[in-house]
Amino acid sequence: MTEAVRVAVVFHDGHGHTRRQAEAVHAGAGSVMGVRSTLVPVEDIHAHWDQLDTVDAIIFGAPTHMGSASAPFKAFMDASEQAVLARGAWKDKVAAGFTNAAARSGDKLNTLQQLAIFAAQLGMHWVNLGLPPGHDSSTSTENSMNRHGYFLGAAAQCDADAGVDNGTTPADLKTSAYLGARVARVALQLSAGRAELAKTTMTA
């Protein structure tokens, strides 16, 4: 039996909205046949370094605070210098990212770029969102996937005065689930390709 491809969603949650987004990404990844997904809060990261060494893909998520990823997520990034970078442990894994903020823009692009550069420093392969802008004409609506028109990753907007249950829109959660499924499929394809290359090397 072929071993399942594994995806980890590593995230920091500030007020509950990022957790909802992370859960959507997690559900999307796990919906792909042959893929197992797990959620890893950065607060628990020290219990998961070994597990993360064995996964095929890691999707990073953080709220955007003051124009960049939140401080606890940045602490995880800094800790990875010794825990991961020094060993080259995540080189050639698949990576992607998501973020949210109360403002429509809120400098979320800066956070996604920060996550993409972080993944590049670790030698990972970044997967973009792969969706066209959703709400960019008079005939489109706020219910469209990728309603904010981000390309590098999934970006959500949550009203600052909204509760967790209604703070993140269904469209943004659907977009986040799409990202999780897209990463899972890429990880499956890469895993299958590596398996075929291994067969070719063995018979050469």
For CA atoms 67, 73, 74, 80, the dihedral sign is negative
Within 13 Å of residue 150, how many CA atoms lie on the same side as its CB?
27
User: CA dist 57 to 29, 32, 184, Å?
Assistant: 10, 13, 8
Its pTM stands at 0.93
- pLDDT per residue over 168-191, tens digit each? 788 999 999 999 999 999 999 998
1 has pLDDT over 50: no
Residue 201 has pLDDT above 90, yes or no: no
Query: What's the mean pLDDT when you consider all of the chain?
Result: 90
pLDDT for res 163: 66
137: domain CATH number? 3.40.50.360
- State what percent of residues in the chain have pLDDT above 70: 95
pLDDT at 200: 77
- How far out from the chain centre does Cα 26 lie? 9
94-101 and 68-69 strand pairing: unpaired
Domain coverage including residue 147: 5-203
Average pLDDT over residues 100-107: 83
Q: Domain total for the chain?
A: 1
